[in-house]
Chains A and B, each alone.
Chain A
Amino acid sequence: MNYLNSFLAALESLTSNKLRSALTVLGIVIGVGAVIAMLAIGAGAQNSITGSIEGIGTNLLFVVSGGSEDVRNPKPLTRADAVALSDGFQAPSVIGVAPLLQGSVEVTAQGESTTTAINGVTPDYSWVRNATLAEGEFINEAHLLGRSAVVLLGTQVAENLFGRKDGLVGESVRIEGQPFKVIGILEEKGGTGFTDEDDRIIVPITTAQARLLRRSTPDRVDLILVQAISAEDVPQAGQEVADILRSRHRTGIGEDDFTVFNQQDFLETASAITGVLTIFLGGIAAISLLVGGIGIMNIMLVSVIERTREIGLRKALGARKRDILIQFLAESSLLSLTGGILGILLGWTISAIVGQIAAASDTAINPVIGLDAVLLATLFSTAVGLFFGLYPANRAASLEPVEALRYE
């Protein structure tokens, strides 16, 4: 019997019991589909997070307080630190500095209320973070000095409060009960999967400090964004920032009370996390593939018992052990191969649906089905079919012809 014959015989045998074959294949379909979908979603999430980190800008450094633990009497970051960092002589690689206060507040207007993220910023923030406006104007020095009760709304917040995204300049909202005047609407950025840039409001940092986000020491800031001249200057800028802050905070060598991150650090952390996530999800999916394989073994064992007489007959007519082995292996690997192919389609469909749902809920995850995932799933499922088919096939091949023919 050549291999084409075995294949055709296996096909015929499987199609003669369609429901059973279909149910067996289903186990593999779900297993492979789950593996493909999970790997695709993992890859999509990774791309999305990487993209959103890259979207922050390659030139940015993030300075936060807190560093090595054995610093005595650590000092917080302040606006004065931020001013020092923008000194062009001490920090020639730095072109923009934006101190930030961050928090969460309740905003109400026209009886509607929403809880949202708040950023207290300086005017420089607008170009350091490239925050463009859909309408109105950004916070200026006068607002800063006067601790003005003015606010910029993200589109999501505007939508929640007013049910529209435009024509809102001049409206007033209450933040934590205090009246603020809307001076602009931030341009819609769409979800980034990391933080929703549209669901936030921006106020002058002085206003935030005085009225909304009180900190232990006046002048304190949560975060300082530092823009380097170019991506190549980021390490140099980081060094300059660290030098300035060390001398200002008078810390010993190797005992910083602040930490400087750049985008690369975030990328590495994020891809480590998503990598673990992908392996985790893929591992769970692989278990279902294993269960599918056991399903194949189960059904092949039943099939061997059912066809004991047939096996006996074939042996009486001159089938060798190998012929019977190939016949049953052909059936089980055909089952798993079919399951694998359908599973790839299912995984692709699930990924597409997840992508649609994610897009609809403003978290842009675009699942990516890599060739590696497809190959992995196909190989794995065929291997599962062969592995779990081996035992039943061997059992069939080892039947004694006399016993098998006598079997009722």
Chain B
Amino acid sequence: MLEAVRRPLWVEVEALVTKWVVDASDLTKVYTMGEMEVHALRGLSIKIAPGEVMSIMGPSGSGKSTLMNTLGCLDRPTAGKYLLDGESVASLGDDQLADIRNRKVGFIFQTFNLLPRATALTNVELPLRYAGEPGNRRERALEALEAVGLADRVDHRPNELSGGQQQRVAIARAIVNNPSIVMADEPTGNLDSKSGKEIMKLLLGMNKERGVTLIIVTHDLAIAKQTNRIVHILDGKVEKES
């Protein structure tokens, strides 16, 4: 019944013309913790159109982190089909998954997760390094930092930057490889409300200017309401969309 959900018209139209960037169906994930089997995902299906801004909400234990890890190719589903940008990734090996993450996914974490001893520039360069790209790494990293408004902070280390600035570095790092989707896990969770608003503005701006598909995991309804589509997860299934 996903198709029946109200979405902005341009998303609907574009989805019809182009392929889905995320096309996952019947995702199942079972963890074995000791003797217990934990069913984190129970046949969850979700489709996301390119350029969409959506949020995933749900109480802790609902499976939203597992969903994010699966969509971000950090983890493989136990069963189910997952096409990312048209590529089937559900059964890829570790190194192929790493490659997919490098080219198609950008991550933004609640705790920023910057390398503490490296400068902002080096942090942003990191995905390019693993992509094995020679040459213009520095230029591309500088460009990404400029896009998040940190052109004058490139040589600063994380401990010399405010929380908002650190998250900007993380955003620059997430977009530097021109990924298909950007996954943000509670991007404003560790920030004061002012920096949080700025970060959200920046993320939404990125979506408008660059057409980046944005998936935000949050439990803050005020954040979720800024997105076009809210997916509520409960007990490993999509409970409802709004």
Give chain A's interface residues, CB within 8 Å of chain B: 1, 5, 12-13, 16, 309-310, 313-323, 400-402, 405
Q: Is the CB of A402 within 8 A of B75?
A: yes
Give every chain B residue within 8 A of A320 (Cβ-Cβ).
94-95, 98-99, 130
Give every chain A residue within 8 A of B127 (Cβ-Cβ).
317-318
- B115 nearest CB neighbor, chain A only: A310
Give every chain A residue within 8 A of B99 (Cβ-Cβ).
318, 320
Q: Is the CB of A12 within 8 A of B117?
A: yes
Q: Is the CB of A317 within 8 A of B94?
A: no
A10 to chain B, nearest CB (A): 13
Give every chain B residue within 8 A of A405 (Cβ-Cβ).
74, 109, 113
Give every chain A residue within 8 A of B113 (Cβ-Cβ).
309, 313, 405
The yes or no answer to B126 lying at the interface (CB within 8 A) is yes
The yes or no answer to B64 lying at the interface (CB within 8 A) is no
- B176 nearest CB neighbor, chain A only: A317
The yes or no answer to B156 lying at the interface (CB within 8 A) is no
| Complex alpha-carbon distance, A322 and B173, angstroms | 22
* B175-201 contact mask (Cβ, 8 Å, vs A): 1 or 0: 001000000000000000000000000
Q: Is the CB of B117 within 8 A of A317?
A: no
Q: Is the CB of A318 within 8 A of B69?
A: no
Q: Is the CB of B74 within 8 A of A316?
A: yes
The yes or no answer to B103 lying at the interface (CB within 8 A) is yes
Q: Is the CB of A16 within 8 A of B75?
A: no
- B131 nearest CB neighbor, chain A only: A318
Give every chain B residue within 8 A of A318 (Cβ-Cβ).
98-99, 101-103, 127, 130-131, 177
Question: Given A315-B98, A317-B101, A322-B95, does the pair A401, B74 have CB atoms closer than 8 Å?
Answer: yes
| Complex alpha-carbon distance, A5 and B109, angstroms | 26
The yes or no answer to B129 lying at the interface (CB within 8 A) is yes
| Complex alpha-carbon distance, A401 and B73, angstroms | 10
The yes or no answer to B132 lying at the interface (CB within 8 A) is yes
The yes or no answer to B107 lying at the interface (CB within 8 A) is yes
- B98 nearest CB neighbor, chain A only: A320
Question: Given A310-B115, A313-B113, does the pair A319, B130 have CB atoms closer than 8 Å?
Answer: yes
Give every chain A residue within 8 A of B173 (Cβ-Cβ).
317
Counting from the closest, the 5 A-B pairs by CB-CB distance are A318-B102, A318-B130, A320-B95, A320-B98, A317-B127
Question: Given A5-B129, A310-B115, does the pair A316, B107 have CB atoms closer than 8 Å?
Answer: yes
Q: Beyond the given A317-B173, A318-B102, please list 7 additional residue pairs across the A-B interface where CB-CB is below 8 A.
A: A1-B130, A5-B129, A314-B126, A314-B130, A317-B107, A317-B127, A402-B75
Give every chain B residue within 8 A of A316 (Cβ-Cβ).
72, 74, 101, 107
- A313 nearest CB neighbor, chain B only: B113
| Complex alpha-carbon distance, A318 and B132, angstroms | 10
Q: Is the CB of A323 within 8 A of B130?
A: yes
Q: Is the CB of A321 within 8 A of B95?
A: yes
- A404 nearest CB neighbor, chain B only: B74
- A307 nearest CB neighbor, chain B only: B115
Give every chain B residue within 8 A of A5 (Cβ-Cβ).
129
| Complex alpha-carbon distance, A322 and B69, angstroms | 22
* B125-140 contact mask (Cβ, 8 Å, vs A): 1 or 0: 0110111100000000
| Complex alpha-carbon distance, A405 and B99, angstroms | 18
| Complex alpha-carbon distance, A16 and B118, angstroms | 11
CB proximity to A under 8 Å, residues B23-79: 69, 72, 74-75
- A408 nearest CB neighbor, chain B only: B111
B132 to chain A, nearest CB (A): 7
Q: Is the CB of A1 within 8 A of B74?
A: no
Question: Given A310-B115, A315-B98, A321-B95, does the pair A402, B74 have CB atoms closer than 8 Å?
Answer: yes
Q: List 23 A-B contacts (CB under 8 A).
A: A1-B132, A5-B129, A13-B117, A16-B117, A309-B113, A310-B115, A314-B130, A316-B74, A316-B107, A317-B127, A318-B101, A318-B177, A319-B98, A320-B94, A320-B95, A320-B98, A320-B99, A321-B94, A322-B95, A400-B75, A402-B69, A402-B74, A402-B75
| Complex alpha-carbon distance, A316 and B102, angstroms | 8
B128 to chain A, nearest CB (A): 9
B137 to chain A, nearest CB (A): 10
